[in-house]
């Protein structure tokens, strides 16, 4: 069953490498347990690492930016959306359990991005 109406926090491994929309870097899971956020690259070229966190669980996804604020480095996959799924909706507060967050990246045509 989906983790509904929970806040997922998104951060950047390197500040300034991108920005989020909404700017707060948080998104609430929908009826399917999916939290979505827009990542906008900056004018700083290099790797962008987006980290998603919910309670004690975290996962991340990286991509390379040309630093032009628009395009990803040529030849690299371009993700238009990233969707995260959680393997379970509850964890013990003892920290003895783990959760798997799965990120699904799709391009502007709604095709899966390899990688």
Q: What is the pLDDT of residues 67-112, one digit of tens each?
A: 766 544 455 656 677 777 767 666 666 666 666 667 777 777 777 7
pLDDT value at residue 104: 76
Q: What is the pLDDT of residue 63?
A: 80
pLDDT of residue 32: 80
In a domain, 2, yes or no: no
In a domain, 112, yes or no: no
CB contact at 8 A, 39 and 14: no
What is d(CA 38, CA 10) in angstroms, rounded to the nearest whole number? Answer: 10
Query: Does residue 111 sit within a domain?
Result: no
User: Can you give the pLDDT at residue 71?
Assistant: 46
Residue 86 placed within a domain? yes
The residue that leads in pLDDT, 53 or 87, is 53
Per-residue pLDDT, 34: 84
- How many separate domains does the chain show? 1
Q: Containing domain of residue 48, as a range? A: 7-106
Q: How far apart are CA 103 and CA 20, in angstroms?
A: 17
pLDDT over 90 (residue 11): yes
* CA dist list (Å): 96 to 1, 36, 70, 84: 21, 28, 42, 22
Average pLDDT over residues 22-46: 84
- Closest of 75, 44, 76 to residue 62, by C-alpha: 76
Task: With respect to residue 46, please indicate whether it lies within any of the assigned structural domains.
Answer: yes
Average pLDDT, the chain: 77
The whole-number pLDDT of residue 36 equals 85
Is residue 1 situated within a structural domain? no
């Amino acid at each position: 069953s989906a983790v509904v109406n929970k806040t997922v926090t998104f951060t950047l491994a390197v500040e300034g490498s991108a920005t989020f929309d909404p700017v707060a870097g948080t998104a609430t899971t929908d009826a399917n347990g999916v939290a979505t956020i827009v990542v906008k690259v900056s004018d700083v070229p290099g790797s962008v690492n987006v980290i998603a966190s919910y309670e004690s669980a975290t996962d991340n996804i990286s991509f390379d930016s040309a630093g032009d604020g628009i395009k990803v480095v040529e030849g690299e996959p371009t993700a238009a959306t990233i969707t995260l799924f959680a393997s379970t909706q509850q964890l013990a507060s003892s920290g003895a359990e783990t959760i798997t967050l799965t990120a699904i990246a799709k391009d502007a045509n709604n095709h899966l991005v390899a990688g």
